Amino acid sequence: MPSSDLFLITGATGKLGRVLTPKLIDGGHRVRVLTRRPEAARELFGDKVEISEGDFSVPASLPAALNGVSRVLLLSPISERLAEDQIALVDVAKAAGVARIVKISGSDWTVGTSFSGDAHKRVEDHLAQSGLDYVAVRPNAWLQVSLAAVAAQIKRGEAIAARHGAKVGYVDVRDIADVAISQLLAPKVAAGPLVITGPDSLSIPDIAGLATRITGKPVGVSSAVAGLPSGIEGFEAEVVKQFFVVIAQGGAAGLTDTVERVLARKPRSVEAYLAEELGAA
């Protein structure tokens, strides 16, 4: 049953937000999005959302975005400003009478090992001290981000480039969205942080094996070193290099039962994602 609550989604036009926001709208909920690009939000969500043009880094733009809002999904991209920006929004949210914040944090293993994990933790600590009702969601590596280039290589009939031989518990963005929405809607948030993974921990050779089964054609692993994903540069590139060190040591291999516990269903698998991407689902 849709409530009368107004939900503010930040990062709605991004990779997670554009999956999460339509799910919330489809549930009949009242949604406002904060964006620097109102035309992009309009194109994605039509007239089914309120659009608040604003910028984390422009404090004067935040009170209007939070006016009348009861619950907030807090997400912003990896940047040197992440902690500062998100803390500013938390403070404005508190002053505006927001009841709950669901924060999309970094992967659990990035805390203490990377600039961005530490920035996310600063925001979590600020939330803990704020007195607001909140929960932090710490998703493992998103398979739609981490494996997009891999799926493209398989489609082109190429061998998959392996940056490392380590296993990773990739998680489907749709499961992150579902867990976050459950926490926005629940009468009470679950005890956090909610560390989310997929059901399997897989290496690139494991994934090549899955792709071979799905396509019926042998998919190999190349010794070519995969570059950083396209479009990643500057501070974000430094952070991603920090991630790769931990991943290569097996730091992202762990699995949790969070999706099953919170959603009472199994998490989506890499195999199902590959089958969709390779047209075999």
Ligand X SMILES: NC(=O)c1ccc[n+]([C@@H]2O[C@H](COP(=O)([O-])OP(=O)(O)OC[C@H]3O[C@@H](n4cnc5c(N)ncnc54)[C@H](OP(=O)(O)O)[C@@H]3O)[C@@H](O)[C@H]2O)c1
Q: Which residues bind ligand X (CB under 6 A)?
A: 10-17, 34-37, 40, 55-57, 75-78, 104, 106-107, 116, 139, 141-142, 145-146
Closest contact distance (angstroms) between CB of 59 and ligand X is 11
Q: Please report which residue ranges of the chain form alpha helices under DSSP H.
A: 17-26, 38-45, 62-66, 82-95, 115-130, 143-146, 148-155, 173-185, 204-215, 234-248, 258-263, 270-277
β-strands 133-139, 71-74 pairing: unpaired
**Token pair listed for 91:** 């403070």
Closest contact distance (angstroms) between CB of 268 and ligand X is 15
Residue number, 147 or 219, with CB nearest to ligand X: 147
**Token pair listed for 153:** 């290589």
Closest contact distance (angstroms) between CB of 217 and ligand X is 28
Residue 134 CA: distances (Å) to CA of 100, 237, 263? 5, 30, 18
Ranked by CB distance to ligand X, the top (closest) residue is 14
Residue number, 3 or 42, with CB nearest to ligand X: 42
Residue number, 89 or 274, with CB nearest to ligand X: 89
Closest contact distance (angstroms) between CB of 187 and ligand X is 26
Closest contact distance (angstroms) between CB of 91 and ligand X is 15
Looking from the CA of 24 toward its CB, the CA atoms found within 13 Å total 34
User: Please, are residues 193 and 135 in contact by the beta-carbon 8 Å criterion?
Assistant: yes
Non-local CB neighbours of 18 within 8 Å, separated by 6+ positions = 12, 44
Residue number, 76 or 182, with CB nearest to ligand X: 76
Residue number, 237 or 280, with CB nearest to ligand X: 237
Closest contact distance (angstroms) between CB of 157 and ligand X is 26
DSSP conformational letter for 228:
P
Residue number, 50 or 215, with CB nearest to ligand X: 50
